[in-house]
């Protein structure tokens, strides 16, 4: 639940409390892992050399769904070397991201951010990649996180093209079996009618 709710199974700092009778104890490492695995962002932790020491579940899923081998882009792989070795139209973006990550790891900056396209054969996609240096003593490490921002990017493109996000709205309505009709308003401008079907349990007489 939200912190303002009534979840009493956690301490005030959000960490797991002592297990109830019959429950297996849950370590803080397990708790932290489950939190990171619950994020939508694709997250990895890299060392100063660029070696990956940790990835979350979203990172592994993205690798599998994009015809990649999770083993080749997970723990033990050198992330920066993989960026340096990138070829094709995305090679310049990969090189720029690797350069920014190295600046973070060297202490020249605390964070780096880059928005980039990552189109799939069936759809266009955009991501924001962020690199943040981990605080504290010890060898430098950084968190690399990639977040899908395709919906925002598509909406911005529609607005720039003068459609005011209408094409984006039509696509969103179609995903839930609805329709989006675009016409002219008597007062000028566009008139939008979005029709989304109600779930059966909300229909009259159900």
Give residue 119's pLDDT band: very low, low, confident or very high (50, 70, 90): confident
pTM, full prediction: 0.66
Q: By C-alpha distance, which of 154, 179, 144, 183 is closest to 42? A: 144
Question: pLDDT tens for residues 70-100?
Answer: 788 899 999 999 999 998 888 999 999 999 9
Q: Which domains does the chain have, with CATH numbers?
A: 1-37 (no CATH), 40-148 (3.30.450.20), 152-202 (no CATH)
CA distance 148 to 84: 22
């Amino acid at each position: 639940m939200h912190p303002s709710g009534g979840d009493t199974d956690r301490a005030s700092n959000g960490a797991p409390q002592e297990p109830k009778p019959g429950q297996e104890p849950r370590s803080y490492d397990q708790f932290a892992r489950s939190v990171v695995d619950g994020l939508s962002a694709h997250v990895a932790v890299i060392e100063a050399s660029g070696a990956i020491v940790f990835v979350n579940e979203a990172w592994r899923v993205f690798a599998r769904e994009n015809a990649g081998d999770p083993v080749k882009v997970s723990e033990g792989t050198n992330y920066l070397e993989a960026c340096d070795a990138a070829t094709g139209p995305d090679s310049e973006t990969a090189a720029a991201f690797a350069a920014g990550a190295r600046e973070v790891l060297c202490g020249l900056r605390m964070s780096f951010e880059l928005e980039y396209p990552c189109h799939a054969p069936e759809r266009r996609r955009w991501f924001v990649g962020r690199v943040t240096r981990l605080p504290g003593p010890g060898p430098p490490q950084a968190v690399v996180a990639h977040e899908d921002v395709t919906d925002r990017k598509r909406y911005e493109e529609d607005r720039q093209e003068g459609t005011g996000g209408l094409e984006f709205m039509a696509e969103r309505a179609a995903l839930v079996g609805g329709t989006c009709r675009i016409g002219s308003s008597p007062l000028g401008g566009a008139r939008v009618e979005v029709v989304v079907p109600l779930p059966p349990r909300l229909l009259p007489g159900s």
